[in-house]
Chains A and B, each alone.
Chain A
């Protein structure tokens, strides 16, 4: 506990910023806690961290964290983060998104950042619903489940975030739940240490809207469901498809190596002789023909 309280003072912004905006029992707080403990474990200097978010419940996380924090427009966290990362490649950049923010309005930026394999960590809090606007169905709302804009049950089918991330070209994907907070912390630690585009999907509870609409009970009940229905990927290989029906796979699901974008671009600058920046004369570049006087 002593360690936990030190982390609170080290990483949270104390004055004026609390109480936070999240409902009592919301999993985003647990997610933030796991993330900050991961930073503490890795002993990353706060001055080297940029935390970017979009709009939504998860989008409010940067207000409380004592990093360079950037709360942007809806869906654009990863695009803003891309600019910040390329401009300052030595910064540790993380983007925190909800499922609507990261995968619906921001889906294009998500897949293209994964394709580039740009070095950043995306913490994708998946509570299967748009919380802040009042419970509309999202790209991760399961088929037939209720949302305020799916009053007859969701006609659409959800993304499998792992398949999406893998298919788009990311080099690291892990899934955790807000019940398995210690595992979440270690997955985040791994993701933050990974050079490349890494995603941690956090299965979280929105008992206020999703849980109420779909009769899944209180925060405690929803988190208990995660405890009972999450299967670690290592254990899953020993189970039959029938046994895995309706379960949530958690753990590290993708960890591969591919060239990282910023490293490649910085190498290009070196190759073209673009460093140091105030070099008097760049190499002869193709230039327009001079007018004969």
Chain B
């Protein structure tokens, strides 16, 4: 790819080029529709750039390999779809517990089970939040355009490095295979984040040190800092603990490093929010439809606006609360039976009526379905 030139790319291609631009130098994956193009491109491109690609024996192996590579010092990523994402969940939990930066791209398809391999869905919204067991606070981004497939992949890598946490990027079948024009930015325009390295002498190094930001410096393998890393609940030195105070410190650390920094993590877009009575809330590819619907409805003089979270977990709660200040109704548009709507209801806190428009038959909704809902509400 040459910078500052326009290309007609699929979402999966843009995601793969975003990974390269974001500094990913290790990818492990397993073939699964509709995500496979990401692995194919990186298999071709990574070794050309000194990076490494491996096709593992399953998705369980893929997530394990990217965690191992990241702890060793690489910027690592995998890409999959629903069934593979399910297989990865146990070791996702490991990555949350052991605070391992890595990016997991889930190109969503219809479910449950094998479901609809070649059809669109947003049904992994809650799996991305609660897929593995235990208390943890994921960072989940939802891209809505081909350009965002690129930029959000870069951002996902940056967030994972900064917060020492896995980051899930949700795409979907439509986005993965749809083509749009995209301009690949110059490298100098992209800000890349590197994980904080320890500066103390090795004997003082604590891989899970409690810090004011709750983020601990992380050493790679072969850098002179020998440390232990485990999925067992551990103290700041990384060794298993059963001391209640240390257990609480650890779980608070996992929570606070995300919740205290949610203003930085959460981004969102909005249109016509200032004077609207109805707020349409949508994310991912459904937001594209919602955007069109809002523009059509505006043209017909309905007082309607759009709120589109880029980060769905943590949810941009303050921003939505503000967007709903003057509204009477929120309409949540999702390609599932209603998952994020519950978060919206929680935030709206019965002050605003929350209604949903859901499509889960493998097809994407049309702007007119949303416009109809807006019209009915008036």
B76 engages A83 (CB within 8 Å): yes
A86 engages B8 (CB within 8 Å): no
If A288-B9, A293-B6 touch, whether A83 touches B57 (CB-CB below 8 Å) is no
Stretch from A150-158, A176-184, A203-211, A267-275 contacting the other chain: A267-275
Interface residues of B in 1-28 (CB under 8 A from A): 1-2, 5-9, 13, 25-26, 28
B25 engages A84 (CB within 8 Å): no
Interface residues of A in 58-115 (CB under 8 A from B): 62-63, 66-73, 76, 79-88, 90-91, 108-109, 112
Interface residues of A in 264-293 (CB under 8 A from B): 265, 268-269, 272-277, 279, 282-283, 285-291, 293
Residue of A nearest to B226 (CB): A68
B69 engages A83 (CB within 8 Å): yes
Interface residues of B in 217-246 (CB under 8 A from A): 220-222, 224, 226-232, 239-240
Q: How many residues of B contact A (CB 8 A)?
A: 54
A83 engages B228 (CB within 8 Å): no
Interface residues of B in 68-97 (CB under 8 A from A): 68-74, 76, 90-91, 94
If A76-B64, A84-B71, A112-B61 touch, whether A66 touches B226 (CB-CB below 8 Å) is yes
Stretch from A44-52, A140-148, A192-200 contacting the other chain: A44-52
**Residue A16 at the chain B interface, CB threshold 8 Å:** yes
Residue of A nearest to B64 (CB): A79
Q: How far is the CB of B73 from chain A (nearest CB, A)?
A: 6
A82 engages B221 (CB within 8 Å): no
Of the four ranges (under 10, 10 to 19, 20 to 34, 35 or more), the interface on chain A belongs to 35 or more
Complex CA gap A80/B66 in Å reads 7
Complex CA gap A273/B224 in Å reads 30
B56 engages A86 (CB within 8 Å): no
Q: How far is the CB of A117 from chain B (nearest CB, A)?
A: 13
A76 engages B91 (CB within 8 Å): yes
**Residue A234 at the chain B interface, CB threshold 8 Å:** no
B52 engages A87 (CB within 8 Å): yes
The number of residue pairs between A and B whose CB atoms lie closer than 8 Å in the complex comes to: 169
If A86-B52, A268-B47 touch, whether A70 touches B71 (CB-CB below 8 Å) is yes
B222 engages A82 (CB within 8 Å): no
If A79-B65, A108-B58 touch, whether A88 touches B73 (CB-CB below 8 Å) is yes
Contact check: which of A63, A82, A288 meets B8 at CB < 8 Å? A288
A86 engages B65 (CB within 8 Å): yes
**Residue B157 at the chain A interface, CB threshold 8 Å:** no
A272 engages B47 (CB within 8 Å): yes
Complex CA gap A85/B74 in Å reads 11
Scoring B51, B226, B232 by chain A CB atoms within 10 A of each residue's CB, the highest score goes to B226
Contact check: which of B68, B73, B224 meets A80 at CB < 8 Å? B68
A87 engages B69 (CB within 8 Å): yes
Scoring B90, B222, B228, B231 by chain A CB atoms within 10 A of each residue's CB, the highest score goes to B228
Contact check: which of A70, A71, A79, A287 meets B232 at CB < 8 Å? A71
B239 engages A17 (CB within 8 Å): yes
Complex CA gap A289/B71 in Å reads 37
B68 engages A70 (CB within 8 Å): yes
If A73-B91, A276-B50, A290-B6 touch, whether A88 touches B221 (CB-CB below 8 Å) is yes
A70 contacts across to B, CB distance below 8 A: 68, 71, 228-230
**Residue B260 at the chain A interface, CB threshold 8 Å:** no
A71 engages B229 (CB within 8 Å): yes
A47 engages B69 (CB within 8 Å): no
Complex CA gap A234/B66 in Å reads 42
A87 engages B72 (CB within 8 Å): yes
B330 contacts across to A, CB distance below 8 A: none
Complex CA gap A290/B1 in Å reads 10
**B: which residues have CB within 8 A of A?**
1-2, 5-9, 13, 25-26, 28, 44-45, 47-52, 54, 56-58, 60-61, 64-74, 76, 90-91, 94, 181, 220-222, 224, 226-232, 239-240
Question: Knowing that A76-B64, A290-B6 are A-B contacts, what are 4 other residue pairs whose CB atoms are under 8 Å apart, sorted by A's residue number?
Answer: A47-B224, A47-B226, A84-B69, A277-B51
Give me the 3 closest cross-chain CB pairs, A-B, nearest first.
A83-B68, A83-B65, A79-B64
